[in-house]
Structure formats: structure tokens, C-alpha cells
Structure 1
Amino acid sequence: MYFRLPGLDIKSVMDLTSGGSPSTSSSEDVASELDNSDAMQLVRQAVLFENIELLADLFKVNPWVWNRVDRHGRTPLMLAAHNGKLNSLRTILLLSPKSLNLVNERGKTALHMASESGETGIVLELVEIGSDPMKSDKEGHCALELAQMAGHNEVAARLIDAIQKESEDVNEAHIMLISACISGSSEAVNDILSKNMDKKQNREVIFNGRNEEDDTALLIACTNGHIEIVRHLLQFEEHLLQNHITKDTR
């Protein structure tokens, strides 16, 4: 079931992505260990009261706390996200960047929790630093769906904007990469790849385009004899090598 905003629905936004559905990952860091120790109780209080100095000290003395959960399945970052504690969230991410994409046993990230609780500022912060708005939890819901199911239309609208912008940026990166593969500019290729390789589904589009008739970067580089670029592209595995007209490989 899809929930609709005026003029846009979730399915149409999902279709902006390469697969047309929320993204999943086969190799995730999962936080599952329940921790009710005194140290964790202090961490949670520091998060909720935004006692940043205490929070930083606790993380330094107890470096394991970042991936422990409370009885609701929330890590310290998820707790901050769910409750709209922006200063705590920024502090935790500074001390433990891996917290960003950590999931709990239900497959939820901090972005999922901020979205379903309607914390617009937190959602924008998490998306800006790289949290994936199309990542699905174990029930198959992405952050956008969770926001709409909870009636948080402002959060949903901001997530739609973020998804559309990312789609436009990925399309532009594909066009620029193809141009660089034609001209033989290794510097341009390196620059494009250094900025756009964090998500597998984005890499697939950047290398191969969205449509069957789109040019593919590796084929163009091979056709034009740019060996250095070919070697650089082959560091990644998301390439198609078939000519869309002749169906030949080269």
C-alpha cells in the first residue's frame, strides 16, 4: 500500500531510483545487545538532557556503548534521533561515525526512527550526512513510508525532495562520467568516482545509466582506448559491457 502526498506518491518517488524499490543491504552492522548497565543509563540520560560534555566523556570511557540498545531497540544515536536531540546526535556521530548506518534487530536506522517520530530537523541532518532515505527496515518500509504512515507530511515532503535531488545528482554524474570516458580525462573520472561511490544502487546508475539505451562507462572507455580509465573503473563491479544496439560485448 502506498500513501500519497499532493501530486506525488511513494511509488513514483521510488521509481526515481535504479530499482524502483527501497534499498536493502546484505552486510549490515546490527545492534542487538541489550544493555541496562549503569554506564548506559548515564549515556541515555546525557542524550535526553543534551549534556554534551558528559556524553562525550561517557563515550570516551565506554567506547562500546555506541552499538548497544535499550529495551526499545534503540542505540544512543537512535534515541537522540527519535527524541529530536540534535546536539546529542551530532556529538555521537562525531565520536562514533559508524552509528549512522547501524540497524537494530527490526532493521531500523536512526533515520527510520526520526522519520516515524516526525523530527524534521533530525531527518534533514541525517540525510545531509549520508543516511539512505530509501533503505527499508525488516517490514519493507523506508523512511518516507514511515513518515507518511505516521502522518508526518512535512518530513515526508522533505524526504521526497532529498530523494529527487539525489536522483538528479546521480543522473548528472552519469552524464559527466560518460563525457570523461569519451574525452579520456582520468582526472575528471577520478573526481566523479571520489564523490559518488557510497551507495551500490547509485554506482549502478552512474556507470550504466537508468535505461537500456543509455551508454555505459566501461564500454565507452574501452571503445575509445582509454586504458588508464578502464583500469580505474574495474575497481568496481557494477558494470554492463553490452552494446545496447548490437548486443555485442567488447
Structure 2
Amino acid sequence: EKGKEKEKDKDKQNEQQKKENQSQRGNEMRCPENSLRGGREKERGGRRRREYPLHSCAKDNDVEGMKKILCAGYDVNRRDTFGATALLIACHLGHKEAVDVLLSHSNIDVNLGELWGRTALHDASKKGHYDIVKKLVEKNADVSLADKKKKSALMKAAARGHTKIVRYLIQKGADVDASDSQYESTALLYACMKGKTEVVQTLVEEGGAEMRKTNRKNESIFHCVVLGGSVQTLVFLLQFLLNKG
């Protein structure tokens, strides 16, 4: 019961915040110098983040607000303090309607990354938003782009167990055996560490992933599986290798 009450309170707070954001954006639209140039600042985790109207609309999935702002000449690719575009925010949150509005803009750049190199495709893949991943790739999102730690969309999806996205990215030419710079891990090593058996199966059977690669600590797929504690993944790998001969 307490859990349900907390959820209700949280929903009320979110709805109230959304209304406040919409009211604020309404004021900004009546004052173009704020809307199209300055935006407003918010305190986020001890750091000040300048939030622009389009970003705020993307966060709230406020499609009508987005259309009005874009019609007023707003830069669809504008970045906030941390380098995030409105598209990245919408993709991160899984707001399909907002994503559709942004992708329909003739000047949209789907491959823009934020300060750490994360793109809209990275976040959509990590969060498991399959439909959005497809929309982005169809708009020429680069499946080979990696962030500043050399982590690709495929690695992010693999670590989270998003099999459908992993399969789609493989079909679209993602590099299955690429390694990141942080741990020198591949998508397969991440999936083994996290015990994502279906993803492991997809990577080796459909992607032809190299099974002999090791990470920075010289850990193999079997080390990673044992560390991750997935018996199911271990059984699959052993059976796969036995069948392969």
C-alpha cells in the first residue's frame, strides 16, 4: 500500500512539473528573445544546466509545443550545456511522438553526440526503444559510431539484454567485434558478464562474434560468464562449442 501511495505521489509530482514546464514555455514563446536564444538554467546534480524550450518539450513529449517552437525558427540541433540535443533527450526517454516531429525536420542531424559522445542511437539502444532505433537508422544514424569510451550502440544494447535491437544492429552492419577503450570489452564479453543468454546466442550464431577475444584484464567469455553467475549462459556456450566441434 505504501508503495502504491509513493507511486501516486510521484505521478502527481511529475504531472505538476509538466504543467509548470508548459506554463513556462508559454511565457517563453511570448518572449522570443528568451525562447530562441537564452533558455533557462536549472540546477542538476550540483551543476547548472541550461535548458532550452525545445529540450523541455522533448522531455515532456509536448508535440504541439515542439511544432510551434520549430515553426518560429528554432535550431532543431541546438545543444544544451552538456551537449545534448532535443532528439537525444526524446530518444533516451522513449518519446516516439517527439522523435517523429524532430526526425521530420529537414535540418535534423541524427548523429550529433553530447559532450561524452553519446548519440540518440546510443541512448535508444541502451534503453531498449526498438521502434526508435529503427526510425533513427532509417534516417541514416551511423551504427558504427562510438562514444568517447569507444562504446557502440551494439555494446550498450548487448549489456542490457535487448536482443531485438542487437539483431537489428547486426543486420545493419554494426561491428560485432569492436572493443571499447574503458575495459577493452566487446559486445559479447559484456553480454556474458551480464548473463544475457539470448544476446550471447544472437551474437555468436547470427553475428559470428569472435569468441576468443579477452578484455583488458585478460578475461575470456568464460571468465565473464562465471563472474556474472549465469549458468544458462555457460551451458549455452559449452553446447555451442561442442556442436561446432
TM bin, normalised by shorter chain, reads 0.3 to 0.5
Specify which structure has the bigger relative contact order, considering alpha-carbon pairs within 8 angstroms and separated by 6 or more residues: 1
| TM-score between the two structures when normalised by the length of structure 1 | 0.46
TM-score by length of 2: 0.47
